[in-house]
Amino acid sequence: MQTLKLVAVSAGLSAPSSTRLLADRLLQAARYRLAEQEYAVDVQVVELRDLAVDIAKNLVTGFPSATLQEAIDTVTSADGVIAVTPVFTASYSGLFKSFFDLIDPAALTGVPVLIGATGGTARHSLVLDHALRPLFAYLRALVVPTAVYAASEDWGSGGDAYTDGLPARITRAGHEFADTVAARPARREDDDEIVPFEKQLADLRLD
């Protein structure tokens, strides 16, 4: 049975957090869909709140701590990434952006990504298309069509005849994401291996 690795990045600041809750729900929907297709799924969550100090130090010094490097490696080695942020001043949070600033621009090339955001009002839902999609387009990730925004009132709403409720949106997005991940070959452990320049030169001499 093939094992696929899904990683959720949550930029929620509180504990518990609606951002983490949305990330967990999206992971669950994707995991169930992949299980139906007889995939084994390895699920991990990266809580940026716990890495805030390490991220700030890395931005200043240019060197990640061991814990931060492990988190970066976890994200860049995933078969699929779910990225969820709270909305601050009509955009993603600074903590969310700072973390992805530390990831090599080529490390997520072609990797399926499901984006989500949380906020107090539905008026901020355009952040998904105006901020998050451009960010992951720059990183050359494969962003799935359906994104999920959860306002405060969405958590207790089942939707109506014209609008899907939050559970339906989560299910649709999770299934799209899972199907996209399943359609791509699993990433090998050595896909992200960095070959030192000296070794590249030595290999050229051998040729």
Q: Give the domain ranges of the chain.
A: 3-206
> Model-level pTM?
0.86
pLDDT at 76: 97
Contacts of 71 by beta carbon, 8 Å cutoff, 6+ apart: 46, 51, 99
Read off the pLDDT of each residue in 182-203 and give the average, rounded to a whole number.
Answer: 57
Read off the pLDDT of each residue in 10-37 and give the average, rounded to a whole number.
Answer: 95
Read off the pLDDT of each residue in 74-95 and give the average, rounded to a whole number.
Answer: 96
The whole-angstrom separation of Cα 31 and Cα 157 is 23
Fold classification of 3-206 is Rossmann fold (3.40.50)
Tell me which residue of 2, 13, 6, 1 sits closest to 118, measured CA to CA: 13
**Banded pLDDT at 195 (limits 50, 70, 90):** very low
pLDDT over 90 (residue 132): yes
The dihedral over CA atoms of 88, 92, 93, 94, expressed in degrees to the nearest 10, equals: -120
pLDDT over 70 (residue 106): yes
- Let me know: does 83 contact 132? Beta carbons within 8 Å: yes
Tell me which residue of 170, 169, 180 sits closest to 80, measured CA to CA: 180
Q: Which two tokens stand for residue 45?
A: 């969550």
The whole-angstrom separation of Cα 53 and Cα 31 is 31
The whole-angstrom separation of Cα 136 and Cα 68 is 20
